[in-house]
Amino acid sequence: MPAGDDVAGAYDRWAASYDADVNPTRDLDALVLRSSGLELGGADVLELGCGTGKNTAWLARAARRVVALDFSRGMLERARSRLPPGRVHFVRHDVRQPWPVRSSSMDAVIGNLVLEHVAELGPIFTEAARVLRPGGRLFLCEFHPFRQWGGRQARFTDPATGEMIHVRAYVHSVSDYVNGGLAAGLRLLHLGETHEAGAAPDALPRLLSLLFQRP
């Protein structure tokens, strides 16, 4: 199996350099989340694939409680060291399995740059609809499928070996995301397609973002 097919193992290897690598997708994602208009004051938030905690720290500033899931030990270790203990409960968990939180217990579910590594979106939307309170929101931001179809995907140079690792990724179309949320009974509030600053007028969007609400 190529190293990248073991997604958790690949991110364990990427963890040491993930924050320092040049990565316009990671940086644009941070901007998109922060300008999403999500109101998180006093909210209970579940984060999927928190990685090194780039967004977790921002979520924790406003939220009452953040539960942050990731299945890479290496990424979680970095996230834990970035945040003071207390407001965030980190859990090593595979988001393809039922989520370790009670039904109707969350005001927001946030997933950034994680679902490209998940083959089946259906269980993700079903779990989001289960754990959200009525009125709760699901925010997703992903590498745009147009770029994936153009051959781009998450990859990094392993600092330990110099090897280029392509992390196993799946293409989900815009309609896969939209219809997946609708099929789980969620309402689509907003769909965004974002270019990085200075992109050529005919450039493909870098990120796809979606905001759903549980009725």
Ligand X SMILES: C[S@@+](CC[C@H](N)C(=O)[O-])C[C@H]1O[C@@H](n2cnc3c(N)ncnc32)[C@H](O)[C@@H]1O
Determine, following the binding rule CB under 6 A, whether residue 209 of this chain makes contact with ligand X: no
Determine, following the binding rule CB under 6 A, whether residue 29 of this chain makes contact with ligand X: yes
Determine, following the binding rule CB under 6 A, whether residue 27 of this chain makes contact with ligand X: no
Cα 185 to chain center, whole Å?
Answer: 21
Instruction: Output the smallest distance, CB 140 to ligand X, in A.
Output: 11
Strand-pair category, 207-213 with 187-194? antiparallel
Out of 46, 72, 139, 147, name the contact with ligand X by CB under 6 A: 72
Q: Which of 95, 41, 36 is nearest to 64 (CA)?
A: 41
SS3 106: strand
Out of 28, 40, 43, 54, name the contact with ligand X by CB under 6 A: 54
Beta bridge partners of 211: 139, 190
The smaller minimum CB distance to ligand X, of residues 160 and 200, is found at 160
Structure tokens at 215: 């009725």
Instruction: Output the smallest distance, CB 167 to ligand X, in A.
Output: 8
How many CB atoms lie under 10 A from the CB of residue 148?
A: 19
Do 209 and 181 form a contact (C-beta atoms < 8 A)? Answer: no
Determine, following the binding rule CB under 6 A, whether residue 75 of this chain makes contact with ligand X: yes
Beta bridge partners of 157: 164
* CB-based burial, 165-199: b 16+ in 10 Å, e otherwise: bebbbeebeeeebbebbeebebeeeeeeebeeeee
Judged by CB under 6 A, the chain residues 140 through 169 that form the site for ligand X are 154
Out of 73, 87, 89, 96, name the contact with ligand X by CB under 6 A: 96
The smaller minimum CB distance to ligand X, of residues 9 and 136, is found at 9
The smaller minimum CB distance to ligand X, of residues 159 and 187, is found at 159
x/- mask, ligand X, residues 114-143, rule CB under 6 A, reads x--xx-------------------------
Out of 13, 26, 137, 214, name the contact with ligand X by CB under 6 A: 26
Cα 64 to chain center, whole Å?
Answer: 20
Q: Which residues bind ligand X (CB under 6 A)?
A: 7-8, 11, 26, 29, 49-51, 54-55, 69-72, 75, 94-96, 112-114, 117-118, 154
